[in-house]
Amino acid sequence: MSETRQTLLEVDGLKKYFPIRKGLLRRVVGHVRAVDDVNFTIRRGETLSLVGESGCGKTTTSRCILRALTPTAGDVNFLTENQRVVNIATVPRRELRPLRRQMQMIFQDPYSSLNPRMTLLDIIGEPLLVNGVGSVSDRRDRVEELLKLVGLPPEFMSRYPHAFSGGQRQRIGIARALALKPALIVADEPVSALDVSVQAQIINLMLELQEEMGLSYLFVAHDLSVVKHVSDRVAVMYVGKIVEIAATEDLFQQPLHPYTEALLSAVPKPDPRLRSQRIILEGEVADPASPPSGCYFHPRCKYVIDRCRTESPALEEVQPERFVSCHRARELTLSGVKE
């Protein structure tokens, strides 16, 4: 990772609150604060992973970045191919389409995201068709090229998605996402539904494509073991907020937030002597409709002090390029994962 790389995406103060409605009149009685003041950047060619337990707001953040959901507040500044900075959060809808070409999504379940009645030629060629790219034969050539790029034989073009395995379907999803040569790919748990052996193949493919095409990734995952080899930096999310961001190696070697430490202790370790050190995270993730007072992690934190129950910690840069939101970040020495 290089500090001098251009910033491609800057997420600033992003919030997404879903109204909770009750009764006959569907009155708004509260809000689910699914994303609550999230800030991060992604540089060109970089992979930022977004990690956290189920329900912490990863998918909502991803969907806001692509404006599949309109944020409640905040900016999503994107550097376009014309070197213009556009705020995706507020840009008028009609201006979104040309931007959407430059940011694409890969989904967790490649089966439900592929239309079963379309051939691979139609599925992968659809974004080209919709954006009026090339003639029929140009599109065919491009689909052939894309299939080769993701390691599938071009003859598969006339087949339907049901003929393929999970890993192959994810390759198809990736080919489709790459059709319009995007700069940013948002991958929401792209390998979670796949067998472990296939996960590595898809991850390697994503890394090769990144190298070849200079792609940036926002890589969403619920556990840390998957992200270690893909990410330059990791952002850890808890109940709608980012609690720690750091370079991958720093975060794994020495986490600064107790939640990161707990997630890391769950990463499978080859050495059986280290396995007993696993921290069992007790209790459930807090409800984003009625989060606890003070630090949202306090009911589950083994380092909790009185101040944590009343005062909410801010995300601060406690070391160069290391951001953490914990009152005790400067005094605690937490355990990471040793190689």
Ligand X SMILES: Nc1ncnc2c1ncn2[C@@H]1O[C@H](COP(=O)(O)OP(=O)(O)OP(=O)(O)O)[C@@H](O)[C@H]1O
60 part of the interface to Mg ion, by CB under 5 A: no
Q: Which has the closest alpha carbon to 57: 242, 270, 210?
A: 242
In angstroms, the CA 121 to CA 246 distance is 41
Supply 325's token pair.
């939101």
- Per the CB < 8 A criterion, the answer to whether 265 and 278 are in contact is yes
In angstroms, the CA 9 to CA 288 distance is 26
Shortest spacing between CB 325 and ligand X, in angstroms: 18
In angstroms, the CA 313 to CA 124 distance is 46
Full DSSP string of 261-324 = HHHHHTS--SSHHHHTTPPP--SPPPPTTSPPSSSTTGGG-TT--HHHHH-PPPPEEEETTEEE
In angstroms, the CA 95 to CA 334 distance is 47
Shortest spacing between CB 18 and ligand X, in angstroms: 3
Which one of residues 43, 58, 257, 298 is an interface residue with ligand X (CB under 6 A)? 58
C-beta closer to ligand X: residue 38 or 121: 38
Site string for ligand X, 2-41 (x = CB under 6 A): ----------------x-------------x-x-------
Angle at 286 between CA 19 and CA 284, to 5 degrees: 130
Supply 3's token pair.
């500090």
254 part of the interface to ligand X, by CB under 6 A: no
Which one of residues 55, 258, 288, 291 is an interface residue with ligand SF4 (CB under 6 A)? 258
C-beta closer to ligand SF4: residue 100 or 328: 328
Supply 164's token pair.
């393929």
Residues 190-249 that bind ligand X (CB under 6 A): 222
In angstroms, the CA 168 to CA 158 distance is 15
> Quick one: what does residue 326 bind among ligand SF4, Mg ion, ligand X, none, with the CB cut-off 5 to 8 Å set by partner type?
ligand SF4
- β-bridge mates for residue 28, sequence order: 21
Residue nearest to Mg ion (CB): 59
101 part of the interface to ligand SF4, by CB under 6 A: no
Per CB under 6 A, the segment of 48-56, 174-182, 185-193, 322-330 that binds ligand SF4 is: 322-330
| Residue owning tokens 């600064």 | 256
Site string for ligand X, 38-57 (x = CB under 6 A): --------------x-xxxx
> Quick one: what does residue 110 bind among ligand SF4, Mg ion, ligand X, none, with the CB cut-off 5 to 8 Å set by partner type?
none
Which one of residues 59, 61, 72, 104 is an interface residue with Mg ion (CB under 5 A)? 59
In angstroms, the CA 191 to CA 170 distance is 8
> Quick one: what does residue 256 bind among Mg ion, ligand X, ligand SF4, none, with the CB cut-off 5 to 8 Å set by partner type?
none
Residues 19-48 that bind ligand SF4 (CB under 6 A): none
Task: Name the site residues for Mg ion (rule: CB under 5 A).
Answer: 59
- Binding residues (CB under 6 A) for ligand X: these are 18, 32, 34, 52, 54-60, 222, 288
